[in-house]
A = this chain, B = another copy of it.
Amino acid sequence: MEERIDKIRQQLHAHSYKLTPQREATLRVLLENEEDHLSAEDVYLLVKEKAPEIGLATVYRTLELMSDLHILQKINFGDGVARYEFRNENAEHHHHHLICVMCGIVDEIHEDLLGEVEQAVSDKFKFHILDHRLSFHGICHRCIDKVDKNELANVRSNIPG
């Protein structure tokens, strides 16, 4: 935790930005909830518990800055709010998501599934791929036993655009 904060501090200083208390508090919230794909509003509410004077705009500006510096990745699951997660600087592309239409939980897949697919797309369409986005919408292992056939039609409508 502390090493990661220190490393980000250095990255900020390298671009002559400061790691202010607000920025640090925001980053700590994200680090403590790394599994959760928080929205700006989520982060704001959690940061407010520790630093009640912080403003929503500062949270947005911090998230924006961290995204510009490639420390965070802004992601969009189609539900109308942006979410943020740490970038893995080793991975060439960002990872994939399993989104459960029953409980809404988002799991991550870190395997690179698309090597061959990218090659095929690149060849066939003469498209130079820089990155990709892949998500699966369905029912997670925690919910699969709770589902009956009648429900299936309804949960399908939880798949966003």
What would 6 more interface pairs be, CB under 8 Å, given A74-B161, A83-B161? A109-B121, A118-B136, A127-B136, A127-B139, A132-B135, A132-B136
Interface residues, chain A, CB within 8 Å of chain B? 67-68, 73-76, 78, 82-83, 98, 101, 107, 109, 113-114, 117-118, 120-121, 125-141, 144, 155-157, 159-161
Residues of B within 8 A of A161 (CB): 67, 73-76, 82-83
* A111 CB to nearest B CB, Å: 8
Residues of B within 8 A of A120 (CB): 113
Residues of B within 8 A of A135 (CB): 132-133
Query: Which residue of the partner chain, among B74, B98, B127, B155, contacts A127 with CB atoms under 8 Å?
Result: B98
* A24 CB to nearest B CB, Å: 23
The reply to whether B127 and A156 contact each other, CB–CB distance below 8 Å, is no
Residues of B within 8 A of A134 (CB): 132-134
* A48 CB to nearest B CB, Å: 24
| A-B pairs with beta carbons under 8 Å apart, 17 shown | A75-B78, A83-B161, A98-B121, A113-B117, A121-B136, A125-B141, A126-B140, A126-B141, A127-B136, A127-B141, A129-B136, A130-B139, A130-B159, A131-B138, A132-B134, A133-B133, A134-B134
